[in-house]
Structure 1
């Protein structure tokens, strides 16, 4: 397990920092990513742009070429700990609540869901009618899932008013996001798997391309003050 106490705030933030050239890209420009200028982003175009903005090596703490579940979770956590205090306070919870809500960025996006206690197949681009569904493979044995749209208190296990790294890991691991991204089921997320998983979340209609209004979502997240802003 990663020891959050041993990581300085700057170290946590560094998990998601980009390469030096990307530091000048605080404003996202569609034209810089859309290589063929067709107004759409293919997964290949997205991958190239995303790699310029996010350096995978900064996520991969042990340098083994793949992200473990804890590396994946700690990197995401650091984006919400905006003041690098190693604790997500209520004042930082707005973005956290938005992204983990029913329509949030980290909502379950895969093909298998549990609906009213039964397994149901959901194809790409299809909507899940029951908003209380959770990932069928999301919950480790003996643990209860942190449901979509859960309150701050549900993540703040010890009730001290902040979400610590280990509390986030506990909640996030019940969502099945790691399993969803690890498409090869080898226990690690490669750089291609990471960018494909992020791409799929922006490609909300499952067309294989990111287009309007999906491009606006990327602009918000890559632009100044956005989730992927550096």
Structure 2
């Protein structure tokens, strides 16, 4: 009886081994259904492999060439033009000069920094949590890696997205010299909202509030002048 059971178990085991091996062979040889057939036509505007199973390495695009493509795109040029028009207003008022040392906080991909450079400023620094070389360096806007009173002009369009707005504003004030300017662009607002923003800049004087169009959206530009170093 025991020998009969052993033979039965042996036959069952062999059957499972044969079935499993056959399934593995089929899976290896058969193209998965999730793959695009190798002879499928490519869309002219894509650069993807002919098959999603194609493991051949993609061509590495050097950073300068990658940036060149990005900066020449219509979307980039549109946003750049918007920031250029915005900063040109301060240049005409004599608040921005070619020798001004400017800081862009939470600068994103660097549109504002490039606009200031194109305006003629030779010393522009931009920071963001994720760097975008060569325009934007990596730094925490709540803990800027700069000495006190370094810059003449600081700008941000992302104060309303800060985790700690008061700390964010204090760091802008700390790094701008006495008499220098801080400019904040926020969603269009007025009255109490502007007073709340002004309350964050406890070391500055509110100079001007004006509604503008920036990056295709209605925004409010709030201008502060630094009165002294924070104690």
TM class by shorter chain equals: under 0.3
TM-score if structure 1 supplies the norm length? 0.22
Bigger RCO (CA 8 Å, 6+ sep): 1
Q: Which has the higher strand share?
A: 2
TM-score if structure 2 supplies the norm length? 0.22
